[in-house]
Amino acid sequence: MSLIYDLHCHSNISDGLLAPHEVVARAARRGVTTLALTDHDTIDGVASARQAAQARGIELITGVELSVIWQRRTFHIVGLGVDTAEERLLGGLERMQQARHARGVAIGERLERAGLTGALDGAREVAGAAQLTRAHYARWLVDTGQVRGYEDAFKRYLRRGRVGYVHGDWVELEEGIEWINNAGGIAVLAHPLGYDLTGAWLRRVLDAFTAAGGRGLEVGCGTSPLPRQVAQLGGWCRRYELLASVGSDFHAPGYNARDLGSAPQLPDDLPVIWQELEVNS
């Protein structure tokens, strides 16, 4: 049986659509054999996902996706194989959830002032019990017919420089990686081509990332699926002697056409991250 890894995905505990056990069930149907649930700044869905994974015969790797700041820019660091009981990590995630709550409310207030009446309450209804995020505002904008789709919502209202954008009070890059390392995990730079960086800027980021103890790079990305992009990321992986990871960055069925298990395959010569991860069975 061929092994299919997906080490970056989201549930409705953060900004995904499906509950953790539904994410696992969908992954199983799509042939995924090893999965990491990596919700934004929370591990609250891991226990449910682990139970579902055991029932489905899927290996589950504990994960989280941290939002971090470096040089006044936001980056995402996936932590894989973290100890979900490690106190400093738990304290850090609580701090991040407070920052996310404040940001979510501020986004709604900005959109309301821009004339989008009901934005805050509407996004809260979409989010349900989850922490309020830009993705929930995007879904509200789509559902109410004010934009053509999710990408249009971000382009018109939610990305940097738009009326609904609010800078997050995230943890610094070095501290976020320290949380992951202290919890026994491996820090992975998520979707490296998703930050609109020049080659020189990406090199600076990777210099800082590796100096801080980062050890992995998403090479097989759902957000960068083209062969030339995979080849480019493989080159960066070799240059910095990083462990290659794969992840669809799945959020919901039909969301940007990325589904579980859909990340492109890695070049054969790259060292893969799962060989160093302790799998929770």
**192 is a domain residue:** yes
CA distance to 155, 214, 276, per residue, from 211 (Å): 34, 7, 20
CATH no. for residue 44? 3.20.20.140
**166 is a domain residue:** no
Residue with tokens 């980021």: 205
Number of domains in the chain: 2
pTM beyond cutoff 0.85: yes
- Are both 143 and 186 inside the same structural domain? no
- Are both 219 and 178 inside the same structural domain? yes
- Are both 39 and 77 inside the same structural domain? yes
pLDDT in the model for residue 280: 39
Integer Cα distance of 114 and 273 in angstroms: 45
pLDDT in the model for residue 248: 95
pLDDT in the model for residue 250: 95
**163 is a domain residue:** no
- Are both 189 and 263 inside the same structural domain? yes
**30 is a domain residue:** yes
pLDDT in the model for residue 279: 45
pLDDT in the model for residue 281: 34
Supply the range of the domain harboring residue 122: 100-158
pLDDT in the model for residue 222: 87
- Which of helix, strand or coil describes residue 174? helix
**167 is a domain residue:** no
- Are both 67 and 128 inside the same structural domain? no
Residue with tokens 């992951």: 180
- Are both 218 and 256 inside the same structural domain? yes
Q: How many CA atoms lie within 13 A of 197 on its CB side?
A: 17
pLDDT in the model for residue 150: 86
**146 is a domain residue:** yes
Q: What is the mean pLDDT of each run of 10 residues along the chain (281 residues)?
A: 91 94 98 97 97 96 97 96 97 96 96 96 93 93 93 93 94 98 98 94 98 97 90 97 97 84 92 80 34
pLDDT in the model for residue 129: 86
CATH no. for residue 149? 1.10.150.650
Residue with tokens 């505002």: 137
